[in-house]
Structures are given as structure tokens and as C-alpha cells.
Amino acid sequence: MKFKVKILSSVLVSLFVLLTFVRIYKISDISMNYSLIDGDLVIVENFSAGVHIPSFFFYKKGHIFSNEKGICRGDIMAFKHPLDNRLYLKRVTALPGDRIFQENKNFFLQIGSDQNKTAAFAKEHNMKLAKKRGRLWLVNPYGRFYNTGHTDEVIGPKELINYPETVMPQHKYFFMGDFRDNSTDSRFFGPVEYDNIYYKVWFIISRSQNLQQMAGINQGL
């Protein structure tokens, strides 16, 4: 009997630890089309970008262990919506210190608000570079590596078309959906603070493809 109790206790402890660091979510909207589609499963992890306070029936703000360096441009992360208690799944499009704006649905990024770094990155990765507002910018850089896009037929609110020039504050990150014309993201509620970022997408189990490993696919943005 004691042996069975020990086994049961070990199983319960193992499940608790596993669910603290790894979760599975089902995609139920189209804001990340076509990187993620409705019905896909994603496995997320809670360690490479810092260990968030474990949550099961609520989302508690803060980290047991912080590691903001574990967040890269292009990562897909789960974060708590600033205005409600739901988790959103979007792509990181700007890190603290980056300068951004959106104009006529085109997204402009300056890495670390540094023109030299931005120009060097554009040259290294054969990316489009434009001079606007007296500065050099990467133009729609995420379309170079990921399946992002627009639909001309979608008019939508002004937030989906233009966004003012902004420098990301310390410990805050800008998120956007890959289906740029149908995503409620940082263009509506602003940059998300680090303490509200919970998980990083690790694997995608796609309805149309085989298991895809997500860890390490970031291209250097």
C-alpha cells in the first residue's frame, strides 16, 4: 500500500512539474494565419524566457526566474491581455529599445533605434531598407522569414493601417498577429510588459503538416 501511495505521489508531483513548465493549447482563431491555423495544437514552454509564476486557474503576474534575453524578435509567445484575463498568442515584432511605426499597412522596424545596426542587418539578410523620417528602416522584415501577410479587401479600423512612431520602453515588447488585417494585438493595446509574458511556442502540431519544432527557428531578428 505504501508503495502504491509513493508511486501515486510521484506521478502527481511529476504532472505538477510538467504542467508548470509545459502546456498544450489549441488554436481557435485566425489572427496567426497561416503560421498557425484554427485547430492546430501548440506546445508551449515556461523556462527559456524565464520561469513565470505557475498558473492553473488564474494568471499571476511576475516571474520566479527572469530571462528577458530568452525572448527574440520573431518568437511566438503567449501573454496575458492587458485588459482581461485571457492568454493571447502572437509574434514578437519589437524588443525593448527598438523603434517602430506602421504606415499604410507597412511595418517599419529600426533595431535598437540604431541606423547602423539596422543597415548592417538589412545587408546581411538581403532585406529591404528604406529611408523615412530621416532614418533608415527595415520594411516588413518579418515577411522575409515568416508567413505574414495582408488582405487588400479588409479595410478594418485605423489601428490596422497606421501606428505612430514609438520606441519600445524597457521591459516591454510589441506583438502582432501574422494575419495583420485580422489581429487584435499591440497596435490596439500597446506594448506588453515582460511580467505578463508567460510561454514561448516550442512545437506546432499542424492539421496539415507533420510535427514542427519551433525552438531555434528564429532567424536572427
Tell me: pLDDT of 44 over 90: yes
Backbone angles phi, psi at 165, to 5 degrees: -60, 125
- Of the listed ranges 19-23, 71-75, 86-90, the least confidently predicted one is 19-23
pLDDT for residue 48:
93
pLDDT for residue 216:
40
Model confidence pLDDT, tens digit, residues 155-213? 778 899 999 999 999 999 999 999 999 999 999 999 999 999 999 999 998 865 544 44
Average of per-residue pLDDT across 102-110: 95
Q: Which three cell numbers stand for residue 114?
A: 540604431
pLDDT for residue 91:
97
Cβ contacts of residue 89 below 8 Å, gap of 6+? 25, 27, 32, 36, 42, 76, 77, 78, 201
**What is the value of pTM for the model shown?**
0.88
| 24-213: CATH topology | Umud Fragment, subunit A (2.10.109)
Share of the chain above pLDDT 90, in %: 57
What is the maximum span of the chain, computed from C-alpha positions, in angstroms? 75
Confidence band for 60, pLDDT divided at 50, 70 and 90 = confident
The average confidence (pLDDT) of the chain is 86
Radius of gyration (C-alpha) of the chain in whole angstroms: 19
**Boundaries of every domain in the chain:** 24-213
Average of per-residue pLDDT across 137-148: 92
User: Per this entry, what is the length of the chain?
Assistant: 221
Which of 163 and 17 is assigned the larger pLDDT? 163
Which of 58 and 61 is assigned the larger pLDDT? 61
Average of per-residue pLDDT across 18-37: 85
Alpha carbons 156 and 165: distance in angstroms, whole number? 20
Tell me: pLDDT of 219 over 60: no
Q: Which three cell numbers stand for residue 153?
A: 479587401
Confidence band for 40, pLDDT divided at 50, 70 and 90 = very high
Alpha carbons 77 and 201: distance in angstroms, whole number? 6
